[in-house]
Structure 1
Amino acid sequence: MKRIVLLGLVCFALFGCGEKKVTEEMLVGDWECTRTRQKADWENGLFQDYSTPVNQGKVPIVYTKENHNLFVKLHFSDRKVKVDFKTLNEEFSINSDDRKMTRYNKLEYISDDEFKSTSEISMTFADSQYNRKIKTLMHCTRIK
């Protein structure tokens, strides 16, 4: 009997405590997101450390799901925009002869009613005066 109970506890520890992640279903609903932005300047052939975060205020966001498609509606438009959920958690690069662009997005689960989103984009050009690196952080809480 003790072995069965011990085996049950081990199984619960291994399978019942998995790391929670942000899912499409979790995103559906109304959110209030606090947004901050940082930039890194280009000096001596390298991006420097990010500047102090600049608070850009609170932004209402609405996610809906229709016909197995995820849509987002931002505060400045009545239009719903289709979102590929995979792009909210990926790294993407484009290279050409005179430029390189890298984009990194990550969703971080906090609770069923709270998540963080990090988006970072860097652009480097043959003419380095146009090089840019920007990080946007959003901390979102479900509106009930």
Structure 2
Amino acid sequence: MKNLIFLCCLASITLVSCNKKVYRFTDESLAGQWSCNRIEYQASWVNNKFADYVQTSNVTKGQLIFKYENNQLFALKNSQWIKGSILTEYNNLPIVEDDGRSIRIKNEYLENQTKNTVNLVEEHTYLIKDTRYNKLNSKSKLVIACIKIASK
């Protein structure tokens, strides 16, 4: 099971690092208005491995608005500016929790980055250590695909 965790982490890092000519966002470059689509995916456990992701929800449209002031990024949420950093949250460092019976892995990262596009991705994997209950293993992915429509 530890090998599986290691391979999941290694695959995440490899997939991100192999991408050619990736635009690297800074908090300052995120400032502006973004039109986004939220899409959810699920992968089933088949033949002792996860199948490919399948889209499980309709596309939901929305907007994100950021501003950059005093060397800090702010997001507009419920008519209030909230300080934070997308780059800190979506850092591609998996969080692994092992309670002895199961393993939970959470990973948040950015993909498909260009100056005016970005996908915010959140993946969750749940693995049962007892192979009799492998059918309960699950894997989900939330993608928020955004296009910049105005700079601030």
TM-score under structure 1 normalisation?
Answer: 0.66
- Deviation digits for residues 70-129 of structure 1, max 9, x if unmatched? 33335xx34536336233131313232123222223323222x22223222212245656
Q: Distance in 2 between matches of 1:99 and 1:67?
A: 44
Query: Does residue 59 of the first structure (1) align with residue 62 of the second (2)?
Result: yes
Query: Does residue 137 of the first structure (1) align with residue 140 of the second (2)?
Result: no
Percent identity of paired positions between Structure 1 and Structure 2: 22
Aligned to 2:3: none
Bigger-Rg structure (1/2)? 1
Aligned to 1:123: 126
Moved more, 90-99 or 27-36: 90-99
Measured after TM superposition, the shift of residue 137 of structure 1 is 1.9
| Structure with the largest fraction of strand | 1
Q: Distance in 1 between matches of 2:22 and 2:84?
A: 27
Contact 1:39–1:133 (CA under 8 A) maintained in structure 2: yes
What amino acid maps onto 1:65 in structure 2?
A: Y
List aligned pairs for 1:1-144, cutoff 5 A. 19-52=22-55, 54-74=57-77, 77-79=78-80, 80=82, 82-83=84-85, 85-96=87-98, 97-107=100-110, 108-111=112-115, 113-126=116-129, 128=134, 130-144=136-150
Q: Distance in 2 between matches of 1:25 and 1:86?
A: 13
Gaps of 5+ in 1: 1-17
RMSD across aligned positions (CA): 2.7
Question: Cα distance 1:60–1:90, how it changes in 2: closer, same or farther (>3 A)?
Answer: same
What amino acid maps onto 2:37 in structure 1?
A: T
Higher relative contact order (CA 8 A, sep 6+): 2
SS of the counterpart of 1:85?
Answer: helix
What amino acid maps onto 1:20 in structure 2?
A: Y
TM-score under structure 2 normalisation?
Answer: 0.63
Gaps of 5+ in 2: 1-20
Contact 1:109–1:115 (CA under 8 A) maintained in structure 2: yes
Q: Distance in 1 between matches of 2:49 and 2:22?
A: 36
